[in-house]
Chain A
Amino acid sequence: MQILLIIIMVKLGFIDLDIPKGSNLMVYGPPLIGKSAFVRTLFNEEVSNGAGGIYVSTKDTAETLMEWFEKVGLDDFRIIDCVSKAMMEDVADTDKIKRVSIMDLTGISVRVNGFLEEYWRSGVRDILLAFDTISALLMYLNPQTVFRFLHVLASRLRAARGVGVYVVEEGMHDDKTTTTLKQLFNGVIEFKEDEEKRFFRFISSSSRTDWKEFVIEDGKVVIP
C-alpha cells in the first residue's frame, strides 16, 4: 500500500522559514541577546496577518506586554499572565487576559485550551503560541514536572496544527535539562553574538540554515 504523506507547511514571515504546521520550536540563546524581542516581532507579524495569537508570559505582566504590542499597533490577541498573581492581590481576568500562578501548570494548560477552543470555533485555523520563558518555570518547578507539562502542551499544539515558540535561556540550566528540552521540540532557533553583531539560525533534524544577522530597533527585530 502506498502511503502519501502530506505535510502542510507554514511560513514564518520575517525570518523566511518554512516549517510544518503543528511544529513546536525552542528559541535558545544567551541572556539579553534579544530572544523576547525576536518572539514578539514574530508574534506581531503572524497575528497581524490573521493568525490567532496566545502569549504565555512568565516574565512580564500583561500590562507590560500590552504596552509593547500597542506601540506596534496590535491589540487583538490573548495573554496568559503568570506574573501578576505573585505581585498583586488578585487582579480580575478579562476575555483576553487570564492570570494564573506560575506554580499552577494545570491552570496554564486549561487557559491555553480555552483560547484554542475559542479560536477554533470562530474559524481561526492558524494559531501561534509564544511562551516566554520556559526558564522561569524551571526556577520554580523541578525539570520532570516542566517536561510533563511541555509534553502535554506541545502535543496539543501539534493536534491543533498550530505553531509554538518557547524561549529558553542558554547557560541557566544543566546540560541534561537542555538536552531533554530540545527533544521535546521539532527544531531550535539558536542565537549567538559575534564581534558585537547578533545572529540567529534554525536547526532541525532535517534542515539547518546559515547564521543570519539581525539588529534590534525600537524593541523590534530587524533583519538588515
Chain B
Amino acid sequence: MKIGIPVLEELLGRLPKGKTLTYYIDPEVEGDVFAMQTLYTNLEEGHRCAYVTSTMNSSSVKNRFREFGWELDDFQNFSMIDAYSGFVGSTSEERYVVKDPSNPSELDEVIRKVLRENDLVVVGALSAMIDICGEDFAGIAEGWTGVARDSGSRLVFSFVAWPYSESVLNRIKDMSNAVVTVGGVHHRVVLGYYYGILKADWVDVENVAVLFRLVRPGGVRAYIPKILVTGPFNAGKSSFVHSISNKAVSVDRLGTTVALDHGHVEYKGFSIDIFGTPGQERFDPLLKVLGREALGVILVVDSTQPKTFPRAKQMLEATTRFGLPYVIAANKQDMPGALSPEEIRKRMALPDDILIIPTVAKNGEGVYDVLEALLKLLIGGRYDEP
C-alpha cells in the first residue's frame, strides 16, 4: 500500500500489511493533511479505506479533504467512522457510528470491527480521543495495532503531540511500527514546516528532514529551503557559497559578483539552496526579494576591514526585516590583523545571543559550523535527534 507523501515514499517504500504508521505532529503545525493524503492515495488505488473523525462532523471532514482537491464522495470503497456527532447531540448517517465517543469501550469495539473490515484505517485525531477519554486511552489504541497486525490491515494515526506526560508520548512512539514527525521551523514564530522519519521497523531509515508546504489543491509538497549569504563588497561571499556547496555557479565578471551566486548543499538530510547576493548597494532591491523567500541569513564580514561593518549592518537590517534568523561568519581569519569574533561583536554592537563564527571561506574552514548553527536556530536543534 502506498504512503502517498513525497520523499517518504522513496525512503519507506510501501506500507506493509499489519503495520501501524503514526504521524507525530507538532501542535502548531497543520499536520492532519499527512494522514488524509495517505488515505486518499489508497482510495484511488481501490483499497477499502476508513477515516475516524473525533473533532468535526462528517460534512466538515469532507470539506477539509475538498480543500486539497480530494473528493471522498466519489469512492464506494470509502467509509467514515463518526466519533463526533455523539458529543454535540446530533445524529449521524454514517455506516459506522460511535454513539458515545467518551466511552472508551464503545470506541474500542467499533474501531476493532472497522480494522477487520477494511484495508486501511486512518484515525484522524488520536490525541483528541486521549483528551476525552484520558491518558490511559493510549493503552486501548495500542490494542488496535495488534488487531491491525492480526487482520493484515493497516493503521495510520494522526497524533498531535501536546505536552502529555512522557509515558504517553513514549507509548505512542513505541507501539507504532513507523513514526513520522511533522514539525515547525521556529524563529519567534513558526516560519516553515518539516517532516522526518523517527523510526520504521521494515527498512533502514536515513536521518532526513524534508521541508514542506501545503498546496491547495494538492496536499503535502516537499520544497527546498533557501538560505541567503549576504555581506559587504569583497567579504568573501562567493568563496563561502562555493566552499559550502556540493554544486555551485556564479554569475560574475572581473572577479566580483554582479549578480547571483547560487549553490546547493546536501547536509544532514537537508537539501538546501544557497544564494549569495552582490555586495554593492545598487543591488539592494534584489536583497529584499530574496529575503522574502528565504528561511535564514548568513552574513559574511571581512574580519580585517572594520570600515565595512556599518555596511554589513545595513545589509543585515535589509534582510532581517522579514524576521529571519541569522548567523555571522567572521571571515578571513587567516589574514594578518583579523579581528576576533568578540572584537567584531563589540565594533558592530551586536547583542550577546547573536552567533559569530570564525571562518576562512577560501579553504572551507568553519563554513559548515556556520550552516550547522543556522540550522540549529531554525529547527531548535531537533533535526539531529535519533
Contact = CB atoms under 8 A, between A and B. Distances in A.
Given A85-B56, A106-B127, 17 more contacts: A86-B88, A90-B60, A103-B128, A106-B125, A109-B27, A110-B29, A110-B30, A117-B190, A119-B189, A121-B322, A121-B323, A123-B323, A148-B164, A149-B27, A151-B163, A159-B188, A161-B188
Contacts of B127: 106
Given A90-B60, A107-B55, A121-B322, A160 B27 contact: no
Contacts of B59: 89-90
Interface string A99-114: 0010111110110110
A116 interface: yes
B131 to A, nearest CB: 4
Main secondary structure of the interface of B (DSSP, over half): mixed
A136 to B, nearest CB: 14
B163 A152 contact: yes
Interface residue range, chain A: 20 to 34
Interface in A119-155: 119-121, 123, 141-142, 144-145, 148-149, 151-152
B63 interface: yes
A89 B186 CA distance: 35
A106 B27 contact: yes
Nearest to A101: B56
Contact of B189 (A85, A106, A109, A117): A117
A109 B26 CA distance: 10
B56 A123 contact: no
Contacts of B28: 109-110, 112-113, 152, 156
17 contacts: A85-B60, A103-B128, A104-B56, A106-B32, A106-B160, A109-B27, A109-B28, A113-B190, A120-B189, A120-B191, A121-B191, A145-B132, A149-B162, A152-B163, A156-B189, A156-B190, A159-B188
Contacts of A144: 131
Contacts of A86: 88
Nearest to A140: B87
Which residue, of B56, B59, B87, B188, has the highest number of chain A Cβ atoms within 10 A? B188
Interface residue range, chain B: 20 to 34
B56 A103 contact: yes
Contacts of B87: 103
A117 to B, nearest CB: 5
Contact of B132 (A90, A117, A142, A152): A142
6 nearest CB pairs, A to B: A145-B131, A148-B162, A116-B189, A120-B323, A120-B189, A104-B55
Nearest to B131: A145
A160 B56 contact: no
Contacts of B171: none
Contacts of A161: 188
A90 to B, nearest CB: 5
Interface string B307-325: 0000000000000011100
Contact of B163 (A105, A109, A142, A148): A148
Nearest to B127: A106
B111 to A, nearest CB: 19
